[in-house]
Amino acid sequence: MSTQNRATTVKVNQKQALQLVTNLMRIPGKSGEEGKIAAEIVERLQKAGLPRKLISFDTANKKSPIGGESGNLIVKLPGTRKGPRRALMAHMDTVPLCVGAEPVKRGNLIHSKSSQTALGADDRSGCSVILNALLTILTENLSHPPLTFCWMVQEEIGLVGVKHLATSKLGKPKMCFNWDGKLVDQVCIGATGDSGMLIRIEGVASHAGAHPERGVSAAVIAGKAIEDLSENGWHGLVIKGRNTGSSNIGVLSGGAATNVVMPELTIKAEARSHNPRFRQKILDEFKKAFQRSVKSVKNSDGQRGTVSFESHLKYESFRLSENEPVVQTAKHAIEKIGGLPELSIGNGGLDANWMVAHGFPTVTLGCGQQDIHTTEETLMIDEYLKACQIGLLLATATESD
């Protein structure tokens, strides 16, 4: 039987695929500490016969604000036949709540044995989908087009790894498939953009008992600004005509003692929208609200506080056309295993946001993870195994045969 035909008919070894994901979920690897999981993936690939020269790491961790043990892990595989290069990707890091997880199977789900830890299906299930595809290609000698496999770092802290991805190492893939979701029928073709805000308020300190009137409270300035934003519809769900978005004040820190009028306060917030211009409008309204507030608060001597406002892009929004080859290819793979593909747009950030920004059309697919970032997290075994089959179809370019 030719390698082409074998690629068309090969089925995922379900027992091995389950053992793989279970083993990967056991390995600790929160953001910045992906060294052990990266080493495990490399070891498995080399045992399967992949030449070490095809494995590389970039230096994304050196560009990260937290540093980190590892850069993005990249495998660039020549094709056994011609065709446009495809990339398969997932992220290696988990949220800290997953550290110490011990996966156990209960019926059709995999849980964390301890009620104190999350599982790490996000995104060790995705890592396993693409690793299983590559291991199967290597061990079964399957025909395939040029392929690139990427295991990203530091996704959970703001898509840091993919933001600093060494794109020159990828080989110019024409289609990219990212596994990081729940249901395999869902094809995410777009996602919102997110901008962060850092607001620093400087008040005037004064003894809160002896001379409270001499103080300018940073807390009061913040409170009035937040009330302004809330009452005028710029905080929380933001709907203005046809434009929609959201904003959130997530962190407030300041002050040192209850007997001192608060002299300083730092606020971290965010604004999201699929429309970059409207997201900028939300940022502008935040800035104006704090500027108005700081002018309205003064002490007995007529002194006012000050406010500084900074914003930065976390990731840009994107939306692919339904007619994009990567979208159609993903749909064909889902249909081939008997699924009914549904296109979706996400309101959270994905590694796909930065991949598209880098110039690589990318869809995100499900791999069975649910209740992520909580101690209730589980892996849906049936969905995960379907994802493995889809991953193998896409890696061998047999999704529409």
Q: 155 catalytic, yes or no?
A: yes
Q: What is the tens place of the pLDDT at every residue in 362-382?
A: 999 999 999 999 999 999 999
Ordered domains of the chain (ranges, CATH): 3-192+317-396 (3.40.630.10), 193-315 (3.30.70.360)
Gyration radius of the chain's alpha carbons: 24
pLDDT at res. 6? 52
CA distances (Å), origin 18, targets 84, 109, 114, 121: 30, 11, 20, 12
Beta strand spans in 213-341 (E): 236-240, 243-254, 264-273, 306-315, 318-319
Q: Is the pLDDT of residue 220 over 90?
A: yes
Q: What number is the average pLDDT over the span 14-23?
A: 98
Of 251, 248, 275, give the one whose Cα is nearest residue 193. 275
Mean pLDDT of 189-209: 97
| Segment holding 55, helix H or strand E | strand 55-57
Give me the pLDDT at residue 272, please.
97
pLDDT of residue 401: 74
Which of 287, 276, 117, 140 lies closest to 195, judged by CA? 276
Residue 8: predicted pLDDT: 55
Is the pLDDT higher at 86 or at 3?
Answer: 86
Going by pLDDT thresholds of 50, 70 and 90, the confidence category of residue 7 is low
Report the share of the chain in percent with pLDDT over 90: 96
Average confidence (pLDDT) over 152-176: 97
Point out the annotated binding site. 122, 156, 180
Flag whether pLDDT at 251 surpasses 70. yes
Catalytic residue (one of 33, 34, 40, 155): 155
Which among 290, 281, 335 has a CA at the least distance from the CA of 309?
290
pLDDT over 80 (residue 1):
no
Over residues 104-126, the pLDDT tens digits come to 999 999 999 999 999 999 999 99
Query: Which residues define the annotated binding site for Zn(2+)?
Result: 122, 156, 180
In 183-242, beta strands by DSSP E: 186-191, 193-202, 236-240
pTM above 0.85, yes or no: yes
| Tokens found for residue 71 | 């850069």
Query: Quick one: pLDDT band at residue 45, thresholds 50, 70, 90?
Result: very high
Report the phi/psi class of residue 11: left, alpha or beta, with left for phi > 0 and alpha for psi in -120 to 50: beta
- Pick from 182, 140, 143: which is nearest to 368 by CA? 182
CA–CA gap between residue 130 and residue 64 (Å, rounded) = 25
